[in-house]
Structure 1
Amino acid sequence: MRVLVTGATGFVGRHLVPALLDAGHDVVVFVREAGRYDGPADVEVVEGDIFEPETVEPAMVGVDAAYYLIHSMQSGGDFEARDRLAARNFINAADAAGVERVVYLGGLGEEHDQLSAHLRSRREVEHILASSSPELTTLRAAIIVGAGSASFDMVRQLAKRLPVMVTPQWVETRCQPIAIEDVVAYLVGVLDHPETAGETYEIGGPDVLTYREMLQRVGTQLGQSPRIVPVPVLTPRLSSYWIGLVTDVETGVARPLIEGLRNPVVVTDDRIRDIVDVEETPFDIAVERALLEERDSTTVPAETPTTTP
């Protein structure tokens, strides 16, 4: 199968491309600067910008399935409008080229829970992608655990740098994190199952934890025992400034992530487990692997402004 990957230089995309090659697919990557792409050599590289529709269309030629792994969270307060425009440009090009399937990685969260702007935008993108001819398969995930994940990196840095944390009440929110290896296995696996076309699935690891528990368990692996004191007066805005002061995560990224932490993100529909066989990775093992990868790498490429949830 000839497969297009957008967001190929982002956290999820960097893991997905080699897995698709291993599965026997012909892979096309859509990147903004072809000369700077350092992924596998066995791919076709198409240079373009998702916000310039005329550059998107050539990437779709002859493509059977296309992955949409783009977001504009780092662009600032206008990220929702940019997300809408990017999704429309993508799906219009896919429709015009006769692409049969689109696979999208979105975010968990129940719409009746008053989703944060970040999660609401992910859901809006999902609706846009579903509005055209290509059949959409959506996978919804919570925090993805791996070296280079912005959300996991925020948790790791907090657990490492702060022996005492004064946090908002979101530390008691429940979450179902998932290892990057498992996310990729599901993303690749749905292509082998035509029945997943037109469907939405929720994916998560085997552990459901509060953010407090995640911070404490990551801290344990880092040789720390962070003391967490939740207070009701610390707003998401103040929390994002606090995150920006004590971690390397930019405030523009931290704020939408922090606002999303108020929403429980737990799998309520696990039908995908009966379709794609994935041996789900326990949280502690996923953390151990992520920390080991970070230690073994001198630099972990940061997520680009238009990639992954």
Structure 2
Amino acid sequence: MRVLVVGATGFVGSRLVEALVEAEHEVVAFSRSATPSDFPDGVEVFNGDLAEPASLEGLCEDIDVAYYLIHSLTAENFADLDRTYARRFRERASAAGVDRVVYLSGISGDERDLSPHLASRREVESVLESGKFDLTVLRAAIIIGAGSSSFRIVDDLTDRLPLMTVPKWVRTPCQPIGVDDAVEYLVDVLDAPETRGGIYDIGAETECTYESLLKMTAEQKGKRIRIIPVPVVSPELSSHWLRLTTDVKYAIARPLVESMRNPVTVDPERDLQNVVPIERTPVEEAIRRALAR
């Protein structure tokens, strides 16, 4: 199968390219500035930029399946950019006759009072849904792994603050997933035709809170932390607080932390594990692997 990965040099995309090669697919890696040496042998590199339509000529030609992994959190107007980029990709994939698209989105709980970040993910889903291809959407909460901005915030906090006075969102329920599991799900849906046109949640077997995630991460590093939630701190104030506690770019950290007010747990009726069962990695093990890398 000839597979296109849009966002091939990102945190998930680079791992996905490797996994698809191991699964013996023919892989095309879309990137703004990559070279063949950035990927396993045999991967075809397509250099282009969704911000420059002229650079996209021929992007989807002879492609059977495309993975769309683009998120523009580094820009102030990320929602506008995500909408525009998704439309440009949809037009080219539809015109080229791409059979199927897989989009990695975000879990958003009860769908009410969505943060700008999660609302943008939903909008991209809607944009892609109107394409002339079968769309499969996988929704994930925080993805744990080396290179994950969300997990890096957690890691930085446990490094720098033995005593944390934190916003009340620290007790929001979440269901993280290790990056290895996320990639395995992404690859395995190709062999599950019943997932065409479906929307699924992916996550670890158990739920936790951001508070327990912080504590598990600290324990893996042999540290102990004390956490005191403060109900009066707003998401906006807490995003400014992150300027002092993490090296993650503020433009990325702010929309991520604003999303932490939304419970992000797997809906049992949409759990991909029901259709594509894998041996899921415990959260503690996912944290250990991320820290080891």
Do the structures match in fold with TM over 0.5?
Answer: yes
Which residue of 1 is the match for residue 233 of structure 2? 234
Q: 1:151 to 1:275 in 2, by over 3 A?
A: same
- For the residue of structure 1 that corresponds to 2:290, the secondary structure is helix
Unaligned stretches of 5+ residues in structure 2: none
Which residue of 1 is the match for residue 52 of structure 2? 52
Which residue of 1 is the match for residue 166 of structure 2? 167
Q: Is the 8 A contact 2:199 2:270 kept in 1?
A: no
- State TM-score, norm by structure 2: 0.97
Deviation for aligned residue 1:111: 5.1
Which residue of 2 is the match for residue 15 of structure 1? 15
Deviation for aligned residue 1:42: 1.6
Mapped to 2, the partners of 1:280 and 1:119 lie a distance apart of: 25
Mapped to 1, the partners of 2:287 and 2:166 lie a distance apart of: 22
Which residue of 1 is the match for residue 83 of structure 2? 84
Which residue of 2 is the match for residue 302 of structure 1? none
Q: Is the 8 A contact 2:35 2:45 kept in 1?
A: no
Mapped to 2, the partners of 1:110 and 1:151 lie a distance apart of: 18
Deviation for aligned residue 1:55: 2.3
Deviations 1:218-254 (A, max 9, x none): 1111121111111122122221121121211111111
Deviation for aligned residue 1:37: 6.2
Equivalence map 1:17-36=2 (5 Å): 17-35=17-35
Deviation for aligned residue 1:75: 1.1
Equivalence map 1:82-231=2 (5 Å): 82-110=81-109, 112-231=111-230
The aligned length equals 292
- Name the % identity: 52
Counterpart AA for 1:18:
E
Deviation for aligned residue 1:189: 0.4
- For the residue of structure 2 that corresponds to 1:91, the secondary structure is helix
Q: Is the 8 A contact 1:53 1:93 kept in 2?
A: no
Which residue of 2 is the match for residue 6 of structure 1? 6
Q: 1:131 to 1:37 in 2, by over 3 A?
A: farther
Deviation for aligned residue 1:56: 2.3
Q: Which moved more, 1:225-234 or 1:80-89?
A: 225-234
Counterpart AA for 2:250:
T
Deviations 1:66-87 (A, max 9, x none): 00000110012x1100010010
Mapped to 1, the partners of 2:57 and 2:122 lie a distance apart of: 24
- For the residue of structure 2 that corresponds to 1:60, the secondary structure is coil
Q: Is the 8 A contact 1:51 1:89 kept in 2?
A: no
Counterpart AA for 1:272:
L
Deviations 1:131-151 (A, max 9, x none): 111110000000001000000
Deviation for aligned residue 1:57: 3.7
Q: Is the 8 A contact 2:36 2:45 kept in 1?
A: no
Counterpart AA for 1:69:
L
Mapped to 1, the partners of 2:243 and 2:230 lie a distance apart of: 19
Deviation for aligned residue 1:35: 3.8
Mapped to 2, the partners of 1:230 and 1:217 lie a distance apart of: 17
Mapped to 2, the partners of 1:12 and 1:2 lie a distance apart of: 19
Mapped to 2, the partners of 1:222 and 1:228 lie a distance apart of: 17
Mapped to 2, the partners of 1:19 and 1:139 lie a distance apart of: 17
- For the residue of structure 1 that corresponds to 2:74, the secondary structure is helix
Mapped to 2, the partners of 1:210 and 1:290 lie a distance apart of: 18
Mapped to 1, the partners of 2:31 and 2:64 lie a distance apart of: 19
Q: Is the 8 A contact 2:49 2:55 kept in 1?
A: yes
- For the residue of structure 1 that corresponds to 2:102, the secondary structure is strand
Deviation for aligned residue 1:112: 3.6
Counterpart AA for 2:99:
E
RMSD: 1.3
Q: Is the 8 A contact 1:170 1:261 kept in 2?
A: yes
Mapped to 2, the partners of 1:216 and 1:104 lie a distance apart of: 31
Q: Is the 8 A contact 1:100 1:134 kept in 2?
A: yes
Q: Is the 8 A contact 1:9 1:37 kept in 2?
A: no
Q: Is the 8 A contact 1:32 1:48 kept in 2?
A: yes
Mapped to 2, the partners of 1:209 and 1:271 lie a distance apart of: 17
Q: Is the 8 A contact 2:143 2:177 kept in 1?
A: yes
Which residue of 1 is the match for residue 71 of structure 2? 71
